[in-house]
Chains A and B, each alone.
Chain A
Amino acid sequence: MGLPLFLPNDDPGPSFLGLLERSGKGLVDPTDWPPSGSGLTPHGTTVVAVRHRDGVVMAGDRRATSGNLISHRSIEKVFPADHHSGVAISGSAGVAMEMVRLFQLQLEHYEKVEGKALSLDGKANQLSQMLRSHLPMAMQGLVVIPLFAGYDHRQGLGRLFQFDATGGRYEERDHAATGSGSLHASTVIKLRYKDHMSEDQAVDVVVEALFQAADEDSATGGPDLIRGIYPVVASITASGFERLADGRVADSTTALVESLTGGGSD
């Protein structure tokens, strides 16, 4: 592995993907594959994001499925993208995780080469472009649908973005959800959402949303009290991306279970 130096007219600039291509490590070309490999690979399911007064909370359940089988009970679908943004994934798990890894590297690489981090819109746009270049694989069944959220220092607020398989990017004002349980999760968030919620309230909302999604959707995993597996919940505020401790999520889950069984309601 030599020193990657380029002539000015062939310089990949701050793009890590451009660098990968020039180094012959570009992504595999899927066009020769048989159609639909989707049944063969694990699928990640429900992820949600909710805006609150200090930023955004993102959360994802821990289940991956292959057809009717549970292939993993404790995979993670919520990742830091950089210091002040996060990305959550649903869809073909292996492909999605590789996409997250490349996305994280792309942001860090840009920041180091340029000496300055990308704007939040710039980051969302990068993810869009990665999805668009992934479209041939998506057409063969290996679909990845992420959520992207971050704290925008210029506007002083949390922002969140939804995507589709073609790279379409849709900024949402208050909340977003994707994956097989997203319909049920969205309904819960819609009913519980309040303007200017605190971070704690937003955490309770996403925990309940994932709980209800798991109740209706077999591909979404609920909290596993026996093994101590809880959804991954992360908060992004002006001070950065922070994954909440399992204990914090466990507390919220316990409170939810109590309110559902009538234990804590009066």
Chain B
Amino acid sequence: MGMPMYVSPEQLMKDRADFARKGIARGRAAVGATYSDGVLFVAENPSNTLRKVSEIYDQIGFVGVGRYNEFDGLRKGGVRHADLKGYTYSREDVDARSLANLYAEYLGQHFTHEQKPMEIELLVGEMGEDPEGDQLFHLLYDGTVMDMSTFAVIGGEADAIRARMEAAWDRTAPLASAVGHAVSALAGPERSLVSDDLEVAVLARSNGRRAFRRIEGNGLDDLLS
């Protein structure tokens, strides 16, 4: 009987993190940002049917990058959690913070206890009643959670995109320029992205109870022109 090879905990965690990061870096990035009327999500996604950006609840949106089956499972879990909570208590008791905490708990648990960590990054965005209430939660593969009221970038080449967003982001920007900033940050100086490469959605205060709307087709072309 052979002895199992000894691996130090530091090395084990580092290997896992490297593995997850590599998987995530292969995928295309997404941006979440607050703007004048709420929260904007822009993802680079050539697929028209396999979504990265989704509705979770009245004022909560979700973006996942990395392995599709992994983040889509968590998206459904989020919808189920929110709908159950709203049914049990009240619609106004459903909030992004508790959902982000659940995601963080699950990802952290998965990172240390499962065969392989999840190769995903998530963004949970919440639109408040007024601009001060708008919030973004950025979740990493190991359960790290960061909250932001400005913008967040997930996926491959996030650092470069973050630097470009830093220069362009403006809290009071109207929708068209907010989309413009996010798209050029995602594209970088050498590329340009057209509507077919993009998935865009907003949580907008002007949309009423279910604030999530996809912007696609002609509507998106108009915003990008």
**A residues in contact (CB < 8 Å) with B:** 1-5, 16, 19-20, 23, 25, 101, 105, 108-109, 112-113, 115
Contacts and interface: CB of A to CB of B under 8 A. Distances in A.
A115 B54 contact: yes
Contacts of A108: 83, 210
Interface string B63-103: 00000000001101111110111111000000000000011
A5 B56 CA distance: 15
A105 B83 contact: yes
Cβ-closest 6 pairs across A and B: A4-B80, A3-B102, A3-B77, A112-B79, A5-B77, A109-B83
Contacts of A105: 83, 86-87
Contact of B84 (A5, A23, A113): A23
Contacts of B83: 16, 19, 105, 108-109, 112
B49 to A, nearest CB: 8
Contacts of B81: 1-4
A112 B55 contact: yes
A232 B74 CA distance: 40
Contacts of B77: 3-5
Given A3-B106, A108-B210, A112-B79, 11 more contacts: A1-B88, A2-B81, A3-B74, A3-B102, A3-B103, A5-B73, A5-B77, A20-B87, A23-B84, A25-B84, A112-B56
Contacts of A4: 77, 80-81, 84
Contacts of B171: none
Query: Of residues A1, A3, A115, which shows the largest number of chain B Cβ atoms within 10 Å of its Cβ?
Result: A3
B164 interface: no
Give chain B's interface secondary structure class.
Answer: helix
Interface string B47-68: 0000100111000000000000
21 contacts: A1-B88, A2-B81, A3-B81, A3-B105, A4-B84, A5-B73, A5-B74, A5-B77, A16-B87, A19-B83, A20-B84, A23-B84, A25-B87, A101-B87, A105-B87, A112-B55, A112-B56, A112-B79, A112-B83, A113-B76, A115-B51
B206 to A, nearest CB: 15
A63 to B, nearest CB: 27
B87 A1 contact: no
A19 B80 contact: yes
A101 B87 CA distance: 9
A46 B169 CA distance: 55
A2 B84 CA distance: 10
A237 to B, nearest CB: 17
Interface in B95-129: 102-103, 105-106
Nearest to B76: A113
Contacts of B78: 3
Contacts of B102: 2-3
B76 A1 contact: no
A113 B76 CA distance: 6
Contacts of B79: 109, 112-113
Nearest to B210: A108
Nearest to A13: B76
A12 B106 CA distance: 20
A3 B88 CA distance: 15
B88 to A, nearest CB: 7
A65 to B, nearest CB: 28
Contacts of B73: 5
A2 B88 CA distance: 13
Nearest to A106: B83
A4 B79 CA distance: 9
B81 to A, nearest CB: 6
Nearest to A16: B83
A19 B84 contact: yes
Nearest to B85: A1
A1 B79 CA distance: 13
A108 B91 CA distance: 13
B211 to A, nearest CB: 13
A90 B106 CA distance: 44
Contacts of B103: 3
Contacts of A101: 87
Contacts of A1: 81, 84-85, 88
B10 to A, nearest CB: 29
Contacts of A113: 76, 79-80
